[in-house]
A and B are shown apart, each in its own frame.
Chain A
Amino acid sequence: MQRTLKLWRTFKEGLTNFQRNGWLSFATITILSLSLFIIAFAGLITIGTRLIVSSLENRISITVSFNPDVSENRITIMQEDLRRFREIASVEYVSRDQALKDFLESNGNDPIIRQAVDEIGENPLLASLVIRAKNQADYEKIATVLETSKYQTDISRINFEKNRRIFERLNAISEAARKFGLALGVAFALIAILITFNTVRITIYSHRQEFEIMRLVGASNLYVRMPYIFEGILYGLCAGIVAVALVALGSYGLAGFTTGAFPQGSLLDVFVSYLPMLTMLTVTLGIVLGVISSFIAIHRYLKA
């Protein structure tokens, strides 16, 4: 009971300090907000890049074309066999008729092409299976398996070699984006931590004489420390919310330039879809930064 009362008092004290040190609180929140904004915005850009890369990944596939004499039944059996592989996400059957229809549609039903096809007398296109892997690094493995499988005599061609360079480039881009995003995030996080720590340290420094007074009137170190921990939480909470608002403004400002750049639409659309996660992470990071900074900064002023 007494412990709860003391906890409540230290919380109230932290809140009162926060209000009465208006300008200092404002300055601390401003600096912390900017640091968090940089991290959150870098995070949003990284998320956006990942989305672009993964949407491109979804568009690539291996197409296995079959000899004209292979029956639909045999192809269906092979389709079922392929579905059992862990690495394969989907196997889609495209019949010869469907392939022709798709071909004509993709050429805008050009009458000259249609006439050329009619002159051949029969459908020149082959039935195929369109295979999508869960991980693009597995395409090469899948191609090898197909080339050495019992179906190899049924297969007319596999278009993997043609796409190999695209796969490799995409892989490199995806990897580079991941590394760059991570390095940028870590660098910004470190800068933000340093800035936040120094700002909170200055705030605490301005209170240093008060710690001595508090201890002299019989406050325990924990009782002296707690209000500043709560103040750190409040700084983090406010700064986190401000930072997310700034990211919203930034995304809104860039919405016009980024329309269609992302699978979701613009950067603003990406922001809206990830708003709950982004808010939670930014606010949590703000609180953690505020609390740890307060904790470390105050520690040096507390002796027995």
Chain B
Amino acid sequence: MTKADSQPIVVFENVNKDYPGGTNALHGVSFSVFPGEFISLVGSSGAGKSTLLKLIYAEEEPTDGTVYFRGRPIKDIKRKVLPFYRRAIGTVFQDYKLLPQKTAFENIAYALEVDGRPAREIREEVTELLDIVGLGKKGHKFPRELSGGEQQRVAIARALIHHPQIICADEPTGNLDPVSTREITDLLLEINSYGTTVIIATHKNEVVDQLNKRVISLVDGRLVHDEARGKYLIKS
């Protein structure tokens, strides 16, 4: 599918985001994300990468401008509907954000339980996803019993459970060694190859250069580069 024959899934329209205390996290950011794209969001710490992702999964609201999801302003989504919206977006974080008191299986299953899905269906889907992320035999382990790479796989499996249209990954390899980084990047590429849009925020140039996909570069909250097949251009 090409950009020409599809509608953008996410659109940023002249978005500003200020935090209390006068921090200007994003300034006049505009770009579109099309279905099936794999976008690397690059920039040094504090450039606004995480804020940009938070605006997509509705953890924050823009101060000015509008963020659209499938043509609809995200800020118009009612509070009650927000949990349903978040189920359409998979989120992955640097610190994995797994529930420490739940096993790998339960962490993934939780995302379906909140939806009220039947137990048998949950069991089948979670088992299948654990196999896909290569953790078929580690479902009964608690996060503290898994390596960083394995925990991130669980987080990715959880992000995939609702078959989201888009995955937002905030520094997904930030805490990982080079081998695990490679594995996680490959996993995200594989997910993207099935049609899921992936946006990753990263400051690891080796990840970006290896991907050879679209790169959006941020400097001090401003979008400075947007290249279809880019490299990591920011000097840290």
Residues of chain A whose beta carbon lies under 8 Å from any beta carbon of chain B: 2-3, 5-6, 9, 16-17, 20-21, 209-210, 212-220, 223, 304
Closest B residue to A12 by CB, please name it.
Answer: B113
Q: Please give me the 6 A-B residue pairs with the lowest Cβ-Cβ distance, nearest first.
A: A218-B87, A2-B116, A219-B114, A217-B111, A220-B83, A304-B79
Nearest CB of chain A from residue B62's CB, rounded to whole Å: 15
Tell me whether B31 is interfacial, beta carbon within 8 Å.
no
A-B interface contact total, Cβ < 8 Å: 55
Nearest CB of chain A from residue B202's CB, rounded to whole Å: 19
Interface of B is mostly: loop
Residues of chain B whose beta carbon lies under 8 Å from any beta carbon of chain A: 57, 59, 79-80, 82-84, 86-87, 91, 97-101, 110-111, 113-116, 118, 158, 162
- A141 and B173 CA atoms in complex are apart in Å by 89
The one of A17, A209, A218 that contacts B86, using a Cβ cutoff of 8 Å: A218
Whether A213 contacts B99 in the complex (CB less than 8 A), given A218-B114, A223-B114, comes out as yes
Q: Which residues of A contact B111 (CB under 8 A)?
A: 217-218
A218 contacts B162, C-beta separation under 8 Å = yes
Q: Which residues of B contact A21 (CB under 8 A)?
A: 101
Nearest CB of chain B from residue A173's CB, rounded to whole Å: 55
A216 contacts B91, C-beta separation under 8 Å = yes
Closest A residue to B57 by CB, please name it.
Answer: A216
The one of A17, A210, A216, A218 that contacts B59, using a Cβ cutoff of 8 Å: A216
Whether A5 contacts B116 in the complex (CB less than 8 A), given A16-B101, A217-B110, comes out as yes
B86 contacts A215, C-beta separation under 8 Å = yes
- A2 and B87 CA atoms in complex are apart in Å by 17
- A15 and B118 CA atoms in complex are apart in Å by 20
The one of B80, B91, B100, B113 that contacts A9, using a Cβ cutoff of 8 Å: B113
Closest B residue to A17 by CB, please name it.
Answer: B101
B83 contacts A215, C-beta separation under 8 Å = yes
Nearest CB of chain B from residue A38's CB, rounded to whole Å: 32
- A3 and B114 CA atoms in complex are apart in Å by 10
Whether A213 contacts B97 in the complex (CB less than 8 A), given A5-B116, A6-B116, A223-B114, comes out as yes
Which one of A20, A214, A216 has the highest number of Cβ atoms from chain B below 10 Å of its Cβ?
A216
- A110 and B82 CA atoms in complex are apart in Å by 93
- A212 and B83 CA atoms in complex are apart in Å by 12
Nearest CB of chain B from residue A292's CB, rounded to whole Å: 24
Closest A residue to B100 by CB, please name it.
Answer: A210
The one of B84, B101, B116 that contacts A20, using a Cβ cutoff of 8 Å: B101
